[in-house]
């Protein structure tokens, strides 16, 4: 793609020079970026539904053959396209994995939101669906409780993984060394000063929470606030998201098992509906 970008850059510069000089020749075609060319190739293969040669692709998208050859070679090398023995080009396996990931994300959130709403009606408490964004936990969806208890973590909120119950679960499937390195990098002192910050302790707690399918924290991220969370685990054992109940900490002391059982069952229902449920 590098040579194609260079040619386009030269085209843009020479076109500008011609314009400045008052050249009456027809204007050059507008620049097409390497990414646009890549999308044209992928769209063409998708629309026709059959493999094509680089020559056919160049003719179909109206691009120089040398540019298409360069882009196709790059995409084949990255697994986004495959080249058969006769030289024809087709969509590659990497695109399939991207599609699966996108499909899973849509199904996961649609189903998780339904279970979130059901759990909200059952418990009358605030329910959240949370996920991981690098070294932060992010609230993906939320159904508010019926009382006047206020939750500061709204949809889109991001907090360090070590502050919250869901944060521990979301990385519990990672190898020990990776979890320790992650917590060394991201662990922060919480506003209450009660959140654990030792990386090895957090890594151990994280693995144990995922095994137990339950993580509970009280007063670590905010005073008088507790969270009871369960993991939503895929077929490979990775925690893709969590479902949790956020409530006043005294309620957990009064009915810990009730909330623990409720989030575990909700997580299992989500996994079953997604076809992820495994015997444990």
Encode burial over 59-70: b for 16+ CB neighbours within 10 A, e otherwise. Answer: ebbebeeebbbb
DSSP state of 265: H
Could you tell me which residues are beta bridge partners of residue 241?
232
DSSP for 198-214, written as a single string: -HHHHHHHHHHHHHHT-
Tokens 């199904």 locate to: 107
Residue 201's pLDDT is 96
Q: What superfamily does domain 101-274 belong to in CATH?
A: GAF domain (3.30.450.40)
Domain limits of the chain?
A: 2-91, 101-274
Distant-in-sequence contacts of 138-145, Cβ < 8 A, 24+ apart: 140/109, 140/112, 140/241, 141/109, 141/112, 141/113, 141/116, 142/116, 143/116, 143/117, 143/119, 144/120, 145/120, 145/247
Encode burial over 251-270: b for 16+ CB neighbours within 10 A, e otherwise. Answer: bbeeeeeebbebbbebbbbb
Angle at the Cα of 119 (from 264 to 141), degrees rounded to 5?
95
Asked if residues 138 and 130 have their Cβ atoms less than 8 Å apart, the reply is yes
The span from the CA of 210 to the CA of 190, in Å, is 22
Asked if residues 31 and 12 have their Cβ atoms less than 8 Å apart, the reply is yes
Report how far apart the first and last C-alpha atoms of the chain are (Å, whole number).
48
Is CATH 3.40.50.1820 correct for 2-91?
no
Residue 59's pLDDT is 93
Length of the chain: 280
Residue 13's pLDDT is 38
Q: What distances in angstroms separate CA 90 from CA 62, 72, 80, one per listed residue?
A: 19, 10, 9
The two domains 2-91 and 101-274 share their CATH topology (first three levels equal): no
Please list, in sequence order, all residues whose beta carbon lies within 8 angstroms of the beta carbon of residue 5, skipping any fewer than 6 positions away.
33, 34
The span from the CA of 265 to the CA of 239, in Å, is 15
Residue 30's pLDDT is 54
Angle at the Cα of 254 (from 250 to 255), degrees rounded to 5?
120
Spans in the chain with pLDDT lower than 50: 1-29
């Amino acid at each position: 793609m590098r040579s194609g970008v260079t040619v386009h850059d030269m085209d843009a510069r020479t076109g500008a020079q011609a314009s400045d000089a008052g050249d009456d020749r027809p204007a050059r075609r507008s620049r097409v970026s390497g990414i646009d060319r890549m999308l044209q190739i992928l769209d063409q293969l998708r629309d026709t539904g059959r493999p094509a040669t680089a020559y056919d692709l160049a003719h179909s998208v109206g691009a120089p053959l040398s540019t298409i050859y360069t882009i196709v070679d790059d995409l084949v090398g990255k697994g986004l396209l495959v080249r058969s023995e006769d030289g024809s080009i087709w969509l590659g396996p990497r695109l399939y994995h991207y599609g699966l990931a996108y499909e899973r994300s849509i199904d996961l959130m649609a189903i998780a939101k339904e279970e979130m709403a059901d759990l909200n009606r059952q418990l009358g408490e605030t329910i959240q669906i949370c996920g991981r964004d690098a070294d932060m936990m992010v609230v993906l969806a939320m159904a508010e409780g019926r009382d006047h208890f206020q939750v500061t973590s709204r949809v889109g909120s991001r907090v360090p993984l070590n502050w919250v119950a869901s944060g521990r679960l979301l990385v519990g499937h990672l190898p020990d060394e990776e979890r320790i390195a992650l917590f060394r990098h991201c662990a922060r002192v919480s506003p209450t000063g009660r959140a654990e910050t030792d990386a090895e302790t957090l890594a151990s707690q994280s693995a144990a929470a995922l095994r137990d399918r339950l993580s509970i924290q009280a007063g670590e991220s905010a005073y008088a606030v507790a969270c009871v969370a369960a993991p939503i685990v895929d077929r490979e054992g990775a925690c893709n998201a969590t479902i949790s109940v956020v409530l006043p900490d005294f309620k957990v002391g009064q009915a810990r098992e009730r909330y623990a059982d409720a989030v575990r069952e909700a997580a299992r229902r989500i996994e079953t509906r997604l076809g992820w449920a495994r015997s444990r």
